[in-house]
Structure 1
Amino acid sequence: MKTKLEAKAPWEKGLLKVTEDGRHFCCGEEPFFLLGDTAWLLFHQLTLEESYVYLRNRKELGYNVILADFIHTADQKNLAGDSALTEGDPARPNTEGTFWTHVDAVMEMGRELGLYMGILPVWGSSVVKSGRMNMDNVDAYMDFVLNRYHDFPNIIWVVGGDVRGDAAYDVFRHMGKRMKEDNPDRLVTYHPFGRTSSSLWFHEEDWLDFNLFQSGHRRYDQVSMQEWDDNTAKEGWFGEDSWKYVKRDLGKSPARPVLDGEPSYEWIRQGLHDNSQPYWKAADVRRYAYWSVFAGAAGHVYGHNSIMQFYKDTSREGAFGAKYLWSDAIHHPGGAQMVHLKKLCEWVGFEKGHPAEEYLLSEQGEKYDYISVLAGEDFLLAYTVTGRQIALSLKAYGGRKLQACWMDPVTGMYTYIGMVTGDQATFNPPEREDGTDAVLVLQAEGKGCI
């Protein structure tokens, strides 16, 4: 059996594309569960040797997409002190130093490891929103980027960067169109501001292949963070209920895949800007992941505060209360636990499923008591955050025998319950010391538990 590092790159099986139903991804004919990791400053903060350590770790865990931006600020420099742009001008990329050759090398590293790179050519909330990149210079920069990276088979293009689409609508729309025109075979999406989705501005655009939303880093009670919060109440936001963003986007036409491109990061402050606030931890990132995927998302993007900024110097204060070195954070539990969800979805064939809250006979709860259900012809998955009893209608399975197990989302281990049949059944999660969340797995007789 080949190891993950020896396995065929996914694009060698066929183009990464949206499935015919407009809800999921596939490489050729093989379903593709998109599991992304957030590495915004990958090209700026790490040496080549460090980049390999990070990328190999993510590949070995089972991630298949890495999100990073080429330029985070107009005066962006790499570790060697070389600038990305000449005098901060987007129309004049600096090809004299090592900035772009270093980017080339890391991009090639990702290709050799079989990883897709979700690339933002520029971080929108700083460079575009400020006007440094505008309709007068965007084409010169896009010409450079698209020509240089046209032939990489492992690129997913991402417009935006933690910014509302209407902050520079014409520029963002133009970038998306240029990306798709340059190579129609590359997927394109948009990374929005917190508590918003790309669908708010670009859902009907031909260049947009799938929606990203940012459920964000705030608690239910953290409605507004004052001066920097440029959202509007009329658009609605859903607190920590990431599944509601999925439901909203899946209700739009045309059908497009959707996923949470930025949920709460592991070990980031709740609400971001107040260091007196507690941190989001592994149990929280699990909740965001299962809620969104069981609501119909085509995958999930994980993030860790120390990794997204590659915090490596404890002599300086990290952003948003970073307290761990990135090299330690890549071994934190939340990142490893995301892979249990990916394996489960691949095993049952989640792309054949649909959100099925109507199968729930238990009274549906609010906030953390919410139970999410994803069902297909031969399987049913249900997730409880608080360890609630789960009562289900099984009428859709026509009296067939179903093998029932509990999956521990912390360890990925399965506990066999037994065979169930009939019109309904009730299940009580096992108690454990390291959390209360649990995944119920029902599968048609013969497939068993993993």
Structure 2
Amino acid sequence: MHRSPFLLALVSAAFCTIGHGALPALKIGEDRRHIVTSEGKPFFLLGDTAWELFHRLTREETELYLKNRADKGFNTVLAVALAEFEFGKPNAYGELPLEDNDPTKPRDAYFQHVDWVVDKAASMGLYTALLPTWGDKWNKKWGKGPEIFTPENAATYCEWLARRYKDKPIIWVLGGDRPVENDTHRAIIRAMAAGLKKGDGGTHLITYHPKGGSNSSDYWPDEPWLDFHMFQSGHSHRAKPNYDMNAKNLALPALKPTLDGEPCYEDHPVRSLMKNGKPTEWFGDLDVRRAAWWSVLSGACGHVYGTHSIWQFHDLEKRTQQTDARTPWRQALDLPGAAQMGVMKKFVEGLDWTKLRRDDSFVYSSKGGSAPENKVMAAVAEDGSFAVVYVPGDFKIEIAPQATKLKIEPAQIANRFFSASTGRGISAKMHTGAIWSYEPGFNKEDTNRDWLLVLKRKAPVTSTSVEKTKEK
């Protein structure tokens, strides 16, 4: 009896699906601003973009990549089932994802490798944010395509995919760097979402990855299938105000979590500074730190980091470069920004961070006037119990205490100062009169000079603490 590739792959999925062990399911928190685990524990999504992971790496290379990211503190990797580049070429094991580029005919041999990657990631504590396809397969606005999706086959393919990964630690990401420009595009994305919901029973979160400089809410301000918003502040300019993109999402009547799903990539050319089609400057670790802290303190539920050579796994011995990549991907694994994202995550998780709400109105700085790169970002806990201030350079800030929402008497506030790149404490000069002023005290050898100020209540003096002080 003849069986279609679609049915054979569906049967195979039933046998290959296994539980994901210690990784809990994810859901949207009751405050509609954060992601939480099935046990209600806040989940700070720290993602790394590895778009071509399934398509380009061997299993040995994949394990190297995943271990590096897990060791640095990431908990999510983003990858695409139907990749953008070299779509017509097989993966590292000679397998193509579809028969005749037909989404209703997925090839099981290709997806067995995807299974392995998802399981290996889970074994290292990493969720997979999985894009069913890159956007050029439904809107070839640019790139090579081909456009292969209709509303009908999009629903079929995504239902199959969701059944296959129903019991895996997955976050679904629709879109793929392309705009929704007409009713057909809108119908395709809705069909994909419906297929995913039907296939896994709605057990996984769904978001949308838009094109550069845009926001999922530009297309889907109140779509029932979209669980949290994602925007792409992108690679065009230094100091792109991604906090404004968060603000737009957090002001919508239908409140949902928000994050920057593609900020400036480390080691990516600054597109606005290209000359004669050639790069002149690249984003560095300060750029990616600044984008991360701006976004997190302005209300994001996490952050996604990227390295220009890693999303494409740049390797000139195997393939040509894409878009001016310059560092072999194995070397790019240890560019400084990646480890600094782990520092940020650990720092944030050490606070009662889900209470934080953006409030930078009480912080002032004369540094650089209105220069966008010197924007100071601050957040105060809803209950007024603490505040966090990020300062993107080695300069003094001033705080108007009467303007803060801190519910702590000035004499009871403990000031703590930290390096934003290392998380280690630093010294500072401070004055706490009518206006509070703070100036960091970096050492000469400190090359990274952006810093953090944490304001919180002093620990109460107890007999135990007094005795410990006497012992010292």
Q: How would you bin the TM-score normalised by the shorter chain?
A: 0.7 to 0.9
Aligned residue type for 1:200 = D
Residue 230 of structure 2 corresponds to which residue in structure 1? Answer: 212
Matches within 5 A, 1:106-125: 106-125=117-136
316-325 or 298-307: which moved more? 316-325
Residue 257 of structure 2 corresponds to which residue in structure 1? Answer: 257
In structure 1, distance between residues paired with 2:315 and 2:325? 10
What is the deviation of 1:417? 4.8
Q: Secondary structure at the match of 2:323?
A: helix
1:388 aligns with 2:395: yes
Distance change >3 Å, CA 398–CA 85, structure 1 → 2: same
Structure 2 length as normaliser, TM-score? 0.83
161-170 or 240-249: which moved more? 161-170
What is the deviation of 1:326? 1.3
Aligned residue type for 2:387 = L
Q: Deviations over 1:46-105 (max 9, x none)?
A: 11111111111111111011100011145352012211111212221123xx31111111
In structure 2, distance between residues paired with 1:319 and 1:245? 28
What is the deviation of 1:358? 2.0
Distance change >3 Å, CA 422–CA 176, structure 1 → 2: farther
1:373 aligns with 2:369: no
Q: Secondary structure at the match of 1:244?
A: helix
Identity %: 33
What is the deviation of 1:265? 0.4
What is the deviation of 1:200? 1.0
In structure 1, distance between residues paired with 2:94 and 2:317? 20
Q: Are the equivalent residues in 2 in contact too, given 1:265–1:302 (CA < 8 A)?
A: yes
In structure 2, distance between residues paired with 1:55 and 1:197? 28
Residue 164 of structure 1 corresponds to which residue in structure 2? Answer: 179
In structure 2, distance between residues paired with 1:188 and 1:309? 24
Aligned residue type for 2:29 = T
Residue 446 of structure 1 corresponds to which residue in structure 2? Answer: 459
Matches within 5 A, 1:66-81: 66-73=77-84, 75=88, 77-81=90-94
Q: Are the equivalent residues in 1 in contact too, given 2:179–2:210 (CA < 8 A)?
A: yes
Which ranges of structure 1 fall in alignment gaps of 5 or more residues? 1-8, 221-238
What is the deviation of 1:163? 0.9
1:340 pairs with one of 343, 356, 364: 343
What is the deviation of 1:185? 2.4
In structure 2, distance between residues paired with 1:170 and 1:127? 11
In structure 1, distance between residues paired with 2:20 and 2:344? 19
Distance change >3 Å, CA 279–CA 31, structure 1 → 2: same
* Equivalenced residues, count: 419
In structure 2, distance between residues paired with 1:132 and 1:193? 19
What is the deviation of 1:38? 0.4
Structure 1 length as normaliser, TM-score? 0.87
Q: Are the equivalent residues in 1 in contact too, given 2:413–2:456 (CA < 8 A)?
A: yes
Distance change >3 Å, CA 112–CA 161, structure 1 → 2: same
In structure 2, distance between residues paired with 1:91 and 1:341? 42
329-338 or 352-361: which moved more? 352-361
Q: Are the equivalent residues in 1 in contact too, given 2:210–2:231 (CA < 8 A)?
A: yes
Aligned residue type for 1:267 = D
What is the deviation of 1:206? 1.0
Q: Deviations over 1:343-401 (max 9, x none)?
A: 12111111111001122244684411211001112221111223331111334333152
What is the deviation of 1:423? 6.3
Q: Are the equivalent residues in 1 in contact too, given 2:356–2:379 (CA < 8 A)?
A: yes
Q: Are the equivalent residues in 2 in contact too, given 1:38–1:304 (CA < 8 A)?
A: yes
What is the deviation of 1:177? 2.6
In structure 2, distance between residues paired with 1:83 and 1:136? 22
Residue 355 of structure 2 corresponds to which residue in structure 1? Answer: 352
2:210 pairs with one of 178, 192, 202: 192
Q: Are the equivalent residues in 2 in contact too, given 1:211–1:256 (CA < 8 A)?
A: yes
